[in-house]
């Protein structure tokens, strides 16, 4: 019975993760193309996508490698872009923390923007899931997102410049995140957190190393927590 | 040769660093209870970080060299509004993509 419900959670996750293929595919192809243009060999490009598995950080690193930035600057900047992953890790710990260490390590490796956001959305909508169901759901969401990240990076690296730059491809990522944001804004505290984060992100966009994102993220979280306490909102 | 080594230093350092960030809480905190004030803040991680990530991309898209762009603003607004009012992520992505592509073709 338990295995059965975990299995159905897995497939529910696959179904919910599937639309992200439309985002991850083009994004990964683009990385493959740009990496090849920057002079990286196919195995080096694949190394990036498999070892690092973080779109925004990979693009940042590539950009700086192209500009001949010092190795340490490349590493520090790309990791700064990825600092939000620590926030995701903290946020998902109340749900996946009780798993055995090796399963937590697997979840950590596959913890990217899309797997995190979709899983948290589902855990909040369906709070009565067992630990096994939550983990199975996470792996389900990951399935159409992470392996395709490798495959499409490879296609981009091999096909290279024969792929024409298409209309508004760069904008697939913002559209996908905005689509997910709407259903997440369940209470006034959630809406206040999001609004504060937008204002801060635009006000501090000038900060170097993507620090504006962290200021805005932390500021939004504080605004949400304050609103929850002061307005007496049930989380 | 040294360029290749530098590249692999970057790849491995980024891999180890990124995994470290992702594992930080999940691995080290595990199922120990976190204080209520921290949990209260963590409840708003997604709704704070995601808009913070997206807002500058919407207002100053890199594809237009940072110039605000009516097509992208309209597509972003359509995707968000659809998601907010219908609570349907699929529908919101579809509407956003449709607005983006059709306006790009028209304008």
As for the ipTM of the complex, it is 0.85
Q: CA-CA distance, B26 to B95, in Å (whole number)?
A: 35
Q: Which of A170, A178, A225 sits opposite B40 (nearest CB)?
A: A225
State how far the Cα of B79 lies from the Cα of A198, in Å rounded to an integer.
16
Chain B residues touching residue A185 (CB < 8 angstroms): 47, 84
Looking at residue A2, what is its pLDDT?
54
Length of chain A counted residue by residue: 235
Give the predicted TM-score (pTM) of the model: 0.80
pLDDT tens profile B35-67: 889 889 988 988 998 899 899 989 998 778 888
Residues whose CB falls within 8 Å of the CB of residue A86, separated by 6 or more in sequence, listed in order: B21, B22, B24, B25
Which has the closest alpha carbon to A57: B10, B72, B51, B9?
A: B10
A123–B contact, CB cutoff 8 A: no
Q: Give the pLDDT confidence score for residue B39 in this predicted structure.
A: 86
A 67-86 residues inside an 8 A Cβ radius of B? 71, 74-75, 78-79, 82-86
Q: What is the DSSP string of A159-217?
A: HGGGSPP-TTGGGHHHHHHHHHHHHH--SHHHHHHHHHHHHHHHHTTTSGGGHHHHHHH
Residues A125, A222: Cα–Cα separation, whole Å: 22
Point out the residues of chain A with pLDDT beneath 50.
1
Hey, CA dihedral for A78, A79, A83, A88, is it positive or negative?
positive
In sequence order, the 6+-apart residues with CB closer than 8 A to the CB of B60 are: A205, B66, B67, B68
Q: What is the pLDDT of residue B1?
A: 40
Give the number of C-alpha atoms closer than 13 A to the C-alpha of residue B47, restricted to the C-beta side. 28
For residue A195, the model assigns a pLDDT of 98
Distance from CA of A184 to the nearest CA of B (A): 7
User: Residue A126 corresponds to which tokens in the numbers above?
Assistant: 């369906």
Task: Please tell me which of the candidates A89, A168, A201 has its beta carbon nearest to residue B23.
Answer: A89
A219/B105 Cβ within 8 A: no
Number of neighbouring beta carbons within 10 Å of residue A234: 6
């Amino acid at each position: 019975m338990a295995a059965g419900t975990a299995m159905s959670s897995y497939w529910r996750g696959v179904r919910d993760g599937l639309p992200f293929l439309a985002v991850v595919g083009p994004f990964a192809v683009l990385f493959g193309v740009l990496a090849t243009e920057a002079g990286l060999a196919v195995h080096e490009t694949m190394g990036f996508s498999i070892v690092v598995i973080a779109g925004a950080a990979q693009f940042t690193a590539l950009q700086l490698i192209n500009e001949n930035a010092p190795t340490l600057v490349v590493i520090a900047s790309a990791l700064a872009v990825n600092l939000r992953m620590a926030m995701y890790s903290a946020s998902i710990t109340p749900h996946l923390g009780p798993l055995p260490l090796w399963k937590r390590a697997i979840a950590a490796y596959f913890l990217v923007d899309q797997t995190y956001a979709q899983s948290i959305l589902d855990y909040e909508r369906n709070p009565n899931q067992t630990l096994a169901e939550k983990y199975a759901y996470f792996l389900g969401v990951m399935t159409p997102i992470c392996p395709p990240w490798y495959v499409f990076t490879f296609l981009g690296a091999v096909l290279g410049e024969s792929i024409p730059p298409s209309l508004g491809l760069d904008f697939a990522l913002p559209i996908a995140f905005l689509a997910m944001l709407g259903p997440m804004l369940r209470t006034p505290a959630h809406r206040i957190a999001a609004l504060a984060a937008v204002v801060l992100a635009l006000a501090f966009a000038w900060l170097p190393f993507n620090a504006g994102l962290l200021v805005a993220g932390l500021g939004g979280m504080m605004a949400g927590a304050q609103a929850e306490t002061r307005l007496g909102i049930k989380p | 040769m040294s360029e290749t080594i530098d590249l692999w230093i970057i790849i491995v350092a980024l891999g180890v660093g990124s995994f470290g960030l992702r594992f930080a809480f999940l691995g080290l905190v595990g199922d120990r209870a976190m204080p209520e004030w921290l949990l209260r803040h963590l409840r708003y991680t997604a709704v704070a970080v995601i808009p913070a990530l997206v807002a500058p991309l919407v207002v100053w898209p890199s594809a237009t060299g940072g110039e605000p762009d009516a097509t992208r603003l309209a597509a972003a607004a359509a995707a968000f509004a659809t998601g907010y009012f219908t609570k349907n992520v699929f529908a919101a992505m579809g509407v956003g993509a449709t607005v983006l592509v059709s306006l790009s073709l028209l304008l």
